Amino acid sequence: MNDPRLNYANEYPVEILPPDISGYKKTNTGVDYILTLDSGFPGPHVLVTAVVHGNEPCGAIAIDWYLKNNFRPKVFTIEHNHTENETKLDKLLITNGYVRIFRKLTTFDAWYISSEVLKVV
């Protein structure tokens, strides 16, 4: 990026090194770095993104860990655009054992928690 407005000293330097993601280049989709995973549940695909801007090392670290450990989330949020998809996502996730929480806290995100977690709490 060659934007002169961004050419200044950072008073909060990033001290996290991004992981080497070159091992994820070749995938099962035929498109570099684009991967599809089967959840084992019927329904539409869900998009998970990271490293979109290239300057967010924590996203790369999270996705790297997720892929290495075959992680299935217990709690997550979904940003939505207030369409009919919000209702469809609710139905899909509730049917698969998730509970939507924080409805009154935010109208910009949909928060879900695994019912397994609620049994422990």
pLDDT digits (tens, 9 = 90+) for 21-35: 888 888 888 888 777
What predicted TM-score, i.e. pTM, was given to this entire model? Answer: 0.46
* Coil, helix or strand at residue 79: strand
Distance between CA 61 and CA 67 in Å, rounded?
10
**How far apart, in whole angstroms, are the C-alpha atoms of residue 3 and residue 52?**
18
DSSP secondary structure letters along 16-36: -PPP--GGGSS-TTSSTT---
* Percent over 70 (pLDDT), the chain: 75
